Amino acid sequence: MRAARARSTGWVALAAVALGCAGAPRLGAPQATDDERRAYAEAVATLADDPAATQRALERFLGERPQSPLADDAAVRLAELAVARGDLDAALRRYGWVEQNHPNGDRVDVARVEMASIELSRGNKAAAASRMRRVRMSRLSSAERRDAYRVLADASDDPVNKLRWLAQVRGAETDEGALALVDVEIDEQLTQLDLPDLVRAADQIGREIPAGRTLLEAADRALDAGDLEAAQPLVHRASRLALAPAYSARLTTVSQRLRLQEEGPVDVAEFPTLAQALAHAAPSVDGASGTIGVALPLTGRFARFGEESLQGVLLAAGIFGEDTGGRRVRVLVRDTAGRPERAARAVQELAAEGVVAIIGPLLKGECEAAASAAQSAGVPLLALTASEEVAAARSQVFRVRTRPEEEVQTLVYHAIRNLGAQRFAILYPRDSYGLGLRRLFWRAVEDQGGRIVGVASYDPDATDFEQPIRHLVGYSLLTEKEKEALKEREKLESRARRLPAEEASALREEARAMTGPNEEALPPIVDFDAIFIPESYGKVVLIAPQLAFHEAVGATLLGTNAWNNRDLTEIGREHVDGAYFTVHYYGESSLAPVRDFAAGFDRAYASPPDAFAAQAYDATNLVLVQLARDRTTREDVREGMLTVTSYPGVTGVIRMGSDGNARKRPFLLGVQRGRVRAVE
């Protein structure tokens, strides 16, 4: 609001506002006399140099001329002075005086907006909304209406109404920088609405911006749910509405998503392996020339990951001068600190510097903010996140990190096609990671013709996994008679422990051959060929021995990138032998691109690269390939990115979907005699 701005911009600005706004009454309103105008001008003349003197002069003016057409102006200025010195109660009294004594004056609606703003600053949303209901928007200037719409947006608890008022704020805003920030806020608000609310919001906004963007967001949600019939009319409606220039390309993006879903899902397991992709000539980056931006968290909690990523970018760009192949690449770097607002500002600054593309950020929240800013600025952004939502609805945004879905597709493909597995079990932690991967793995198994025959979960903090393991191998399904038979078997096994080795072995064989009352096998019954454990290596080395202890043996263990640590084999030992897991990057690969990358990284930084450095290296090279092909404008780079197919990156084979989401075939590793080896 204007009073709040007075504190931040100083007394000079407030004086300018005071002089500029006085003496502009509504058509037909009483006119101030020359004497009143002169007295008012003298009262505010000292505002910049002596606010206290101005306050006394305005109070004197108000006391002598309470019915003057300029009295409400004087009261509003006194209220603003009160706000500037932090006395909000005094400000409310002054604004209230205007409302009571000059209800038809030209400053009463401004006073109502400012009173609502003060109530809002105190957390009184209901009081703010009540005051705003008395505001007559037609009596406000465009800047004042913008402030009023902002109060209405901030006071609204209804997300649909909040979006409607933000649309009005946007329509009244003239400053480009502020406009970009409002667009970021609108984008954030859109993410909080479900599909029905998005449609309702678009209906309320009408034909103005961002109704079209809201409908496209709704179409994306419908596509997320696989509802093509719902998405199609939403896209059609959006195509008939005004779109901000930075968002007009989103129509194309959503249409591409429609086509992708009509074509069916992409299974990265059917991509060529990296070795197969390298049989063809890899795209060259020689001769690449241009300026690229980098927006990464280089301070704060996630600085280590940002620094690793930056090192990958700099290595790809040839900054260290090793065999640059004629590359002339300039890199501009900004620190996001892992914060969304810093990420958005970083993108805006880099775009203003003329970069052709931006690499980063890493975290989902900062990626969302950066993506909105990149879309507004019309600059391609290669986000290093696994979250598909970042790119799905933005034509300028690409996502290049390996996704969990791609890991499980690769695992299941290998298990079914190469190991002959058909029946699968899942043992997972009851947290978001475990639940998400359980869903993805189940879907991948069914898509590839396998069956899930057992599922068990455990508390994420557990160290004893007896109960979920026993559940998997049938102990929880025993009848009373089967339990009695099992007790007899356990007695035989107990006796065997006290006998000499040869006799004990014979007795154990007898125990294992025992059946239940219907001549059926007793637990443990391992009726699955493979078991998927979406856990960290630290938990896997606890689970694997307990599987063996409870005789849940014979099934192949399957895992994800979270298993990638030398402790898996050093602690898990024989219990993890024969296991398979995927990784985002395998530094020990003998394939030339990976070997050259690892060696170059070690020469530059005297340390081995990790997956963060590798994915940033790949993302940078994807941009450099476009520059090397003389695609030197932002639009050229964006269009070139959409043509990427089977790119042999150091993090695996990459194909860019038309929705901006990269599909990758990750590396598959296996444990053989205590050593981890590449399977393909």
Please name the residues in contact with 676: beta carbons below 8 A apart, sequence gap of 6 or more.
568, 569, 669, 670
304 lies in the same domain as 254: no
Q: Is the dihedral of CA 340, 342, 345, 347 positive or negative?
A: negative
Looking at residue 671, what is its pLDDT? 95
Q: Does some domain include residue 265?
A: no
Alpha helices in 226-339 (DSSP H): 228-239, 250-263, 274-277, 303-316
Which residue, 583, 602, 627, sits at the end of a domain? Answer: 583
Crossing angle of helices 303-316 and 611-628, in 10° steps, is: 30
The DSSP bridge pattern shows strands 647-649 and 423-429 to be unpaired
The CATH number covering residue 230 comes to 1.25.40
Q: Where are the beta strands (DSSP E) in 255-385?
A: 289-296, 328-335, 357-359, 381-383
Looking at residue 342, what is its pLDDT? 97
Domain total of the chain: 3
The CATH number covering residue 577 comes to 3.40.50.2300
pTM tops 0.75 = no
Which residue, 542, 559, 583, sits at the end of a domain? Answer: 583
105 lies in the same domain as 170: yes
306 lies in the same domain as 178: no
Q: Does some domain include residue 517?
A: no
Give the distance from CA 30 to its chain's centroid. 56
Q: Does some domain include residue 24?
A: no
Which residue, 214, 235, 259, sits at the end of a domain? Answer: 259
152 lies in the same domain as 95: yes
153 lies in the same domain as 284: no
Looking at residue 483, what is its pLDDT? 61
Residue of 650, 652, 672, 673 lying closest to 663 (CA atoms): 652
Looking at residue 489, what is its pLDDT? 63
**C-alpha–C-alpha distance, residues 154 and 173, integer Å:** 16
Residue of 208, 212, 200 lying closest to 237 (CA atoms): 212
184 lies in the same domain as 322: no
**C-alpha–C-alpha distance, residues 252 and 260, integer Å:** 12
Q: Averaged in consecutive runs of 10 residues, what is the pLDDT profile of the chain (680 residues)? A: 42 42 52 86 80 88 89 90 90 90 90 92 90 90 90 90 91 86 88 90 90 89 80 88 72 67 64 86 90 97 96 93 78 97 97 97 94 95 89 86 92 95 94 92 92 91 90 63 64 72 72 58 68 96 91 89 94 94 93 94 95 97 94 89 88 86 92 90
Q: Does some domain include residue 536?
A: yes
> Cβ distance 456 to 434 under 8 Å?
no
335 lies in the same domain as 250: no
Q: What is the CA radius of gyration of the chain?
A: 33
Which structure tokens are listed for 611? 């997956």
Q: Does some domain include residue 396?
A: yes
81 phi/psi in degrees, rounded to 5? -65, -40
113 lies in the same domain as 228: yes
607 lies in the same domain as 577: no
Q: Does some domain include residue 393?
A: yes
> Cβ distance 271 to 663 under 8 Å?
yes
Looking at residue 389, what is its pLDDT? 83
Please name the residues in contact with 34: beta carbons below 8 A apart, sequence gap of 6 or more.
none
316 lies in the same domain as 303: yes
Q: What is the extent of the structural domain holding 430?
A: 405-474+524-583
* Cα 384–Cα 388–Cα 392 angle in degrees, nearest 5: 110
441 lies in the same domain as 421: yes
Q: Does some domain include residue 480?
A: no
Q: Where are the beta strands (DSSP E) in 493-625?
A: 530-532, 556-559, 580-583
**C-alpha–C-alpha distance, residues 593 and 244, integer Å:** 42
Looking at residue 479, what is its pLDDT? 56
Q: Does some domain include residue 674?
A: no
Looking at residue 379, what is its pLDDT? 97
Q: What share of the chain is helix, strand, coil (3-state, %, to 5)?
A: 55, 10, 30
First to last CA, the chain: 62
193 lies in the same domain as 296: no
Q: Position of tokens 């920030």?
A: 181
